[in-house]
Amino acid sequence: QQQVKQSPQSLIVQKGGISIINCAYENTAFDYFPWYQQFPGKGPALLIAIRPDVSEKKEGRFTISFNKSAKQFSLHIMDSQPGDSATYFCAACRGGTSYGKLTFGQGTILTVHP
């Protein structure tokens, strides 16, 4: 049972464009929603994260939008660059002692063409 569903599986964007990746979750007990970025041959690394008390968080060109009622959250990459080409994973976990016990989405392979 996939508790976090991510789409699309792959995404091709031109340099300077906006990349949008969507995730939906089922478990209303989830309390922390991070996005991880993975380059080939490397482990995933935390990119940006949000907690459900806010609807949006922005860090540079990366923005998370969070819709608690719809149980959805998305990653927006503004002014996408070839260096952003990577695999992106959304994730979620419950609070308390479950912090860090992440449930991941299926991943999105982003390719940014120069």
The number of residues that bind other proteins (CB under 8 A) is: 27
- Whichever of 43 and 83 has its CB closer to other proteins, that residue is 43
Q: Is residue 105 a contact residue for other proteins (CB under 8 A)?
A: yes
9, two tokens: 């599986």
With CB under 8 A as the contact rule, the residue among 14, 83, 97, 114 that binds other proteins is 97
The two three-digit tokens of residue 99, written as one number: 């912090």
Among 19, 21, 25, 44, binds other proteins (CB under 8 A): 44
The minimum distance between CB 26 and other proteins, in angstroms, equals 14
Please say whether the beta carbons of 71 and 5 come within 8 A: no
CA dist 96 and 82 (Å) reads 38
Paired tokens of 111: 């390719």
